[in-house]
Amino acid sequence: MTSSEEPARPGAAAGPQDTRGASLQPLEYDEPALQLLLGPTWDETLMTGYRWMILGRTLDQRMLGLQRQGRVGFYGPATGQEAVSVGAALASGPPDWVFPGLREQLLALARGHALETYVHHLFADNVDPARGRQMPCHPTARDVHYVSMSSVVGTQITHAVGVAYGQKLRKDPGATLAFFGDGATSANDFHAGLNFAGVLALPVVFCLVNNQWAISVPVEHQTHVAVLADKARAYGIPGARVDGTDLVAVIAATRDALARARGGGGPTLLEFVVFRMAAHSSSDDPKRYQPKEFQEKARERDPVERLEGLLKRLGRLDDAGVATLAADADARVRMAIQTAEAAPQPVPDSLTTDVFSSVAPTPR
């Protein structure tokens, strides 16, 4: 993690950095550094994180395949961004609220939302809590304080700030996490949200996931700021750039920002630098606008492979363990898909369920 406001934490961005802020080298933490950053159960934390990241990667692969077969209407993969969602889940607690961008569904799962419920949502069946009335990848998970995203860029920022204001007024023990992409930093709600939160010292952590692309627009074409975290200065709040392909760095940075927010210290802007390793969504073709070398650079910073390499080097994982965890994740995803595909479709009358207190008879 680097910041103009605060010194970098030990090991928070291991290896040499490129100009975009994501490490080019394997994770090089040793056990004392991990104990300092993650506590005495660091190995359990990292293994839990790895399991969730493998599940997220497996879910992306399977669901994209099903979308291409016409069995799912839409899908927005989070491949390459798993460490941010899982790290935030491991750093946050039950009282905290999450306002996602497009790719934080894995965060809801790692916070305790059932995989089966999420897959029912993707299939828009009658077991889906929304009964198919919301786009796939836009779930609401009240059980884990995860608010449904909006496809409108940046609107969740001001929504999150509103909840954080309520938390402060009610002396709620939690804080709010607001996720958004690099493109949203050029939206009106970014300015309004950060300004309001800064003035009122609200308990909110702004999680800017910079995956280098606002759909097809590269980050350098929509803002002239080289380090997006530096935008925090305009609002008088701390800003830090974090290697979002490094699970350890994500957990440490998010945990510290949440502690500051809960303790009355106000908001923080965290810029998580990642590389989008897939299309923006199943409706997108990145070959039409991405340079050929971009995906090669993205694969060099694969967060799953980086964490896997660290766990192997520290003796907590081997090839057999990797294969077992991958098989377990695949079995879980396949079972959830099988259950969802066997569920009935919503009946037409459900269209107004939970929408109106009473429905007028249909004219004949």
pLDDT tens per residue across span 245-272: 999 999 999 999 999 999 999 999 999 9
pLDDT band at 21 (very low <50, low <70, confident <90, very high): low
pLDDT given for residue 283 in this prediction: 85
Taking the CB of residue 151, how many other CB atoms lie within 10 A of it?
Answer: 11
Q: Which of 57, 131, 138, 276 is catalytic?
A: 276
Distance CA 149, CA 78 (A): 14
What per-residue confidence (pLDDT) applies to 7? 31
| List 131, 262, 280, 306, catalytic entry | 280
What does the mean pLDDT of the chain come to? 91
Summarised one tens digit per residue, pLDDT across range 117-176 is: 999 999 999 999 888 888 888 999 999 999 998 888 999 999 999 999 999 999 999 999
Q: Set out the domains of the chain in order of their start, with CATH numbers.
A: 40-112+150-338 (3.40.50.970)
Q: Is the pLDDT of residue 3 over 50?
A: no
Percent with pLDDT over 90 in the chain: 74
6 pLDDT tier (thresholds 50, 70, 90): very low
Instruction: Look at residues 179, 142, 144, 133 and name the one whose alpha carbon lies nearest to residue 160.
Output: 179
Does residue 17 carry a pLDDT above 60? no
Catalytic-residue membership of 221: no
Answer yes or no: 289 catalytic. Answer: yes
Does 14 have pLDDT greater than 60? no
Residue 144's pLDDT is: 97
306 falls in which pLDDT band (50, 70, 90)?
very high
**Burial (CB count <10 Å: 0-12, 13-18, 19+), residue 222:** middle
**Strand, coil or helix: what is 275?**
coil
pLDDT of residue 20: 57
* Annotated catalytic residue, options 289, 313, 316, 332: 289
Measuring CA to CA, which residue among 211, 138, 209, 140 is closest to residue 177?
209
pLDDT tens digits for 213-238? Answer: 888 989 999 999 999 999 999 999 99
* 299 counts as catalytic: no
Task: Compute the distance between CA of residue 85 and CA of residue 52 in angstroms, rounded to an integer.
Answer: 10
Taking residues 65-76, report their average pLDDT.
92
